[in-house]
């Protein structure tokens, strides 16, 4: 099963994608996590991406698409995957669609996690991320077992640079201009499903499971 997660920054795409991945035994692929791992390791790609990410802008399509196509070509993606944070523009979605068409394949479901802008800024200030394994927490809603420490790998949790209020507002603008048209793109292909992302994360996941069955 090949799944795309849609939704504003902070809507809960990553949280839900990791639950889907575990439940369905498919890899969780987050382009944001891949960029952050590259930044942490000081790679050329990381340096290039960081300049855009810090401003809350999108990394150019060319760079992002190459990275994603390489990733989904790996062996563990044969049975499917859940994409979190890709595609983020119509051209990205078109490239992915063309690549899949080569083998008569397609995206099975696009899950749109719907959360109004008002809730987003509040949510982001409480987000804490593990830069080592990509796990995400919330200081109030989804706290780690031990404050400041990742449940999964024991690393220290951080507030991402781009989760500060000013940058979040810009990311929301970018989302509405460049990414939200994907809702229509996948709706036209009859694979769009929308869930209410303001519910508790476990309830959202129950709704998603019903859709994916
Ligand atoms: P969020 O969890 O808020 O949705 P991500 O971790 O997915 O954020 O992405 C963080 C940043 O990485 C984005 O603001 C953008 O700069 C960059 N990025 C991630 N995925 C893409 C993509 N598909 N296209 C362009 N830029 C991307
Ligand atoms: P995205 O990947 O869409 O940017 P995340 O999954 O990282 O979003 O979630 C953003 C923040 O909101 C995180 O701190 C996460 O722990 C928290 N969160 C996720 N889902 C919910 C929910 N249903 N209710 C409240 N907080 C949530
Ligand atoms: Zn971790």
The domain limits of the chain are: 2-212
Question: Per residue in 178-202, pLDDT tens?
Answer: 999 999 999 999 999 999 999 999 9
Helices 31-40 and 61-72, packing angle to 10 deg: 100
Catalytic residue status for 189 = no
- Find out whether the peptide bond into 205 is cis, omega within 30 degrees of 0: no
Instruction: Please work out whether the CB of residue 32 comes within 6 Å of at least one atom of ligand 2.
Output: no
Instruction: Please work out whether the CB of residue 59 comes within 6 Å of at least one atom of ligand 1.
Output: yes
Indicate which atom in ligand 1 lies nearest the CA of residue 8.
4
Indicate which atom in ligand 1 lies nearest the CA of residue 87.
23
| Rounded average pLDDT per 10-residue block, the chain, 213 residues | 97 98 98 94 95 96 96 96 98 98 97 95 92 94 97 96 92 97 98 98 98 94
d(CA 41, CA 35): 10
pTM metric for this prediction:
0.96
- Model pLDDT, residue 156: 97
- Model pLDDT, residue 122: 86
Find the catalytic residue in 71, 160, 169, 199. Answer: 160
Instruction: Please work out whether the CB of residue 201 comes within 6 Å of at least one atom of ligand 2.
Output: yes
Number of C-alpha atoms within 13 angstroms, CB side, residue 15?
27
- Model pLDDT, residue 121: 87
For 130-136, which contacts have Cβ atoms below 8 Å and span 24 or more sequence positions?
130/155, 130/157, 130/158, 131/36, 131/37, 131/40, 131/155, 131/158, 134/14, 134/18, 134/28, 134/30, 134/33, 134/36, 135/18, 136/14, 136/15, 136/18
Please identify, in words, the CATH class of the domain defined by 2-212. alpha beta
d(CA 31, CA 84): 7
Question: Per residue in 156-170, pLDDT tens?
Answer: 999 998 999 889 999
């Amino acid at each position: 099963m090949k799944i795309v997660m849609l939704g504003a920054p902070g809507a809960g795409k990553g949280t839900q994608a990791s639950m889907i991945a575990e439940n369905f035994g498919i890899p969780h692929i987050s382009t944001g996590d891949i960029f952050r791992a590259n930044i942490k390791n000081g790679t050329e790609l990381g340096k290039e991406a960081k300049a855009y990410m810090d401003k809350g802008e999108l990394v150019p399509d060319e760079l992002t698409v190459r990275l994603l196509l390489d990733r989904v070509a790996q062996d563990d993606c044969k049975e499917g995957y859940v994409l979190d944070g890709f595609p983020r523009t119509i051209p990205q979605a078109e490239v992915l669609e063309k690549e899949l068409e080569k083998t008569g394949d397609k995206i099975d479901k696009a899950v749109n996690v719907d959360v109004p802008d008002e809730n987003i800024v509040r949510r982001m200030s409480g987000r804490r991320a593990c830069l080592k394994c990509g796990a995400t927490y919330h200081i109030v809603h989804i706290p780690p077992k031990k404050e400041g420490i990742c449940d999964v790998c024991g690393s220290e949790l951080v507030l991402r640079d781009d989760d500060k209020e000013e940058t979040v507002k810009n990311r929301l603008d970018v989302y509405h201009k460049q990414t939200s048209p994907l809702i229509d793109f996948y709706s036209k292909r009859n694979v769009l499903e929308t869930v209410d992302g303001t519910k508790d994360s476990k309830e959202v996941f129950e709704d998603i499971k019903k859709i994916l069955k």
